[in-house]
Amino acid sequence: MILNFFHNIWLLTNNYKLLLILLPEWIVMSGPSSTNLSATLAKSLNYELHEVETKSFPDGEKKIRINEDVQGKNIIFVQSLYPPVDHHVMQFLLTVYKLSQMGSKVYACVPYLAYARQDLEFQRGETASLAVISRLFRSIGVNSLLTVDIHSTHGLGYFSFPTFSVSAMPLLANYVSNNIKLNSPLAVSPDFGGSSRVEAFSKLLNIDYISLKKSRSRTTGEVVMEDSNVEVAGRDIILVDDMISTGTSIVRAANYLHKLNSGKIITLCTHALMVNNASDVIKEAGVETVIATNTIPSDVSKVDVTKIIAEHYKSIQ
């Protein structure tokens, strides 16, 4: 009986070793746009970290090279697609194509997914850009896609392979709770399209929320803010959005709220694109601070999304 016991232990041990050999190895590969996030993700998952060798020619064309043997391995390729957007998109396409060609299984991690705002044909003759992106990703061999706070969950339907969007709102809410003192805070979405987002955020902090309504002409682009019946006088405001590009929506909302005698205003977003002089424009509008995640590296990237990305990959293994 004792011999049988030790024999069974030996079998289990060797079967486990065999299983480890047969299971594909996982590697985090860093794209040029997400080196820091890739490093923290690899450390969190306890995976090896490799980098893509990249080069840009004088005429703007891109060249990439994979220096490791990736055949039969699962690659988490991390590349955020913030400005210069097309530059980072081409790096992504060339890299994933080569990884697939070399025999690896590519799990694309795209913390900020460019072109996600154009997920419908808003005017006749326009292209639903995200539909094109989804086809490109499929054609080069993306096996699975993970992003953070996609602009509209409607866009997920364009992808024919497993596609996931994890939310950074709990991380942002936790940051506010631990670092910022507010008087009778009110969470505000700068437009009605963000209603579900601001509602979910407000529940995390157990505070009130409202969504501002605006009317926009799709032809001229002119926007008018509609009056709100909610009392905001004297209350500190948390403007919540998924992204800030030029800052126009934030400035418009801040100006409107100041007219209603609000208290101080802070702004939270997942993706801080902050193009042109957005930071200065937002500050001039009386917004005290902007807090964003590190899906896009910037001076306002104060919240790390490594945790939610790592949790996703742990859940699928």
- Give per-residue pLDDT as tens, 211-228: 998 665 666 665 556 656
Q: Under a CB-based contact definition with an 8 Å cutoff, are residues 269 and 290 in contact? A: yes
Output the CA–CA distances (angstroms, integers) from residue 293 to 96, 118, 136, 165, 167, in the order listed: 25, 22, 27, 15, 11
Residue 94 has a pLDDT of: 97
| Catalytic residue check, 214 | yes
Residue 17 has a pLDDT of: 45
Q: Under a CB-based contact definition with an 8 Å cutoff, are residues 197 and 175 in contact? A: no
Residue 198 has a pLDDT of: 95
Q: Cα torsion for 125, 131, 135, 138, to the nearest 10°?
A: 180
Mean pLDDT taken over the chain = 90
Please state whether beta strands 223-225 and 105-110 pair in parallel, antiparallel, or not at all (unpaired).
Answer: unpaired
> Tokens representing 25?
């190895």
Residue 122 has a pLDDT of: 74
Q: Which of 43, 105, 203, 214 is catalytic?
A: 214
Relative orientation angle of helices 129-140 and 85-101, to the nearest 10 degrees: 30
Q: What are 66-98's pLDDT values in tens digits?
A: 999 999 999 999 999 999 999 999 999 999 999
Can you say how many angstroms the Cα of residue 266 is from the centroid of all Cα atoms in its chain?
20
Q: Phi, psi at residue 248, to the nearest 5°?
A: -60, -45
Sheet holding 74-78, edge to edge: 48-51, 26-30, 74-78, 105-110, 142-148, 163-166
Q: How is residue 24 annotated by DSSP?
A: P
Indicate if the pLDDT at residue 192 is higher than 50: yes
The pTM of the full predicted model, rounded to 2 decimals, is 0.88
More confident residue, 15 or 177: 177
Q: In which element (H, E) is residue 267 found?
A: strand 265-272
Q: Phi, psi at residue 62, to the nearest 5°?
A: -110, 150
Q: Under a CB-based contact definition with an 8 Å cutoff, are residues 88 and 79 in contact? A: yes
Segment 247-251 mean pLDDT: 95
Sorted by where each starts, the structural domains of the chain and their CATH numbers stand as: 24-167+305-315 (3.40.50.2020), 169-294 (3.40.50.2020)
Residue 19 has a pLDDT of: 40
Indicate if the pLDDT at residue 12 is higher than 90: no
